[in-house]
Amino acid sequence: MNGILDRFIQDRAAFRPATMDELFALALARRLGDPAAARHYVTLAAQYSPERLVRTFHRILTGGADEALATRFHQQIQRAVPFVPPNHPVPLLAIKVERRSVAAAVFVGRHLEDTHVRHLSSAGARAQSSAISFVNWIMSNFELESAALECIIDVKDIRRVVLTSAIREACIAPRPLSLWQFPKRQLFESFGYPALRSRKELRQVVLSMWPVLADKRAVDQALDAVALGALVQTERLFLN
């Protein structure tokens, strides 16, 4: 980066978010083609609301200028803008399906409300029934507007495919929830720069963001669901 950005001292070491604001800052930096400077965008996120930063991002996308996105963004962010109201905090149910368990994380906006894990029978039919009952129980206890599932890449894992399909159907009937789906690769890319390389790294980042989760049972599955929910609620900010 040149010109207006020369005055910023940027630490270009590996970056791992420790809060939802830092996760948002990394998402913004990636969209501006500047992920190595994620720590600088953390500073901006402390100065300006996510809504204002996103409004500025969308404005430069339609500006038609030839400069790099990051340069145009910094030229625009300091300009006076009308008040940008906060977004409606959409309630979300994020679900991670394993062969013998289902984990769920409930978010309201970017706030993590709760996590739950249900262990499943080794018998296919009983496992499917239990998974559906688990999801229905959560939907009856929380006012939800959307749901998220991790994409199953390995279609040979028939049990997970069947369970995921059954849970997807439970989420859209009888009261349909808007449904988000992301692959594991996108989770790895979204929670670190350079991108994470393993589930273990992803879970370590999530634990740094929510240390209280270390006391939860079946912590790995819960952490996976929380990561998915945090990603969705961050990506949602950029839709406005």
CA distance readout (Å), 48 to 62, 86, 164, 191, 239: 21, 12, 39, 21, 18
pLDDT digits (tens, 9 = 90+) for 81-90: 666 777 788 9
Considering only 4-13, 140-149, 203-212, which range has the smallest mean pLDDT? 4-13
Return the structure tokens found at 140: 């009856």
User: What strand order describes the sheet that includes 101-108?
Assistant: 111-119, 101-108, 91-97, 146-150, 178-182
**What's the pLDDT at 61?**
87
The pairs formed by 124-133 with CB atoms below 8 angstroms and a separation of 24 or more are 124/159, 124/162, 127/100, 127/159, 127/163, 128/162, 128/163, 128/166, 131/97, 131/102, 131/163, 131/166, 131/167, 132/166, 132/167, 132/170
Q: Which of 230, 187, 236, 185 is nearest to 209 (CA)?
A: 230
Joined tokens for residue 159: 């049990």
Where residue 218 falls among pLDDT bands split at 50, 70, 90?
low
pTM here is 0.89
Least confident of 5-9, 101-105, 133-137, 210-214: 5-9
pLDDT in tens, 91-123: 999 999 998 999 999 999 999 999 999 999 999
Q: Provide the 8-state DSSP code for 213.
A: G
11-21 CB burial, b ≥16 within 10 A, e <16: eeeebbbeebb
Q: Report the alpha-carbon distance of residue 149 to residue 164 in Å, rounded.
A: 8
28 is written with which tokens? Answer: 């913004």
- Return the SS3 of 116: strand
Q: How confident is the model at residue 10 (pLDDT cuts 50, 70, 90)?
A: very low
Residue with tokens 């739950």: 116
Q: Taking the CA atoms of 87, 137, 124 and 213 in sequence, report the sign of the dihedral they define.
A: positive
The tokens describing 130, both together, are: 């239990």
| Burial of 225: CB neighbours in 10 Å, binned 0-12, 13-18, 19+ | buried
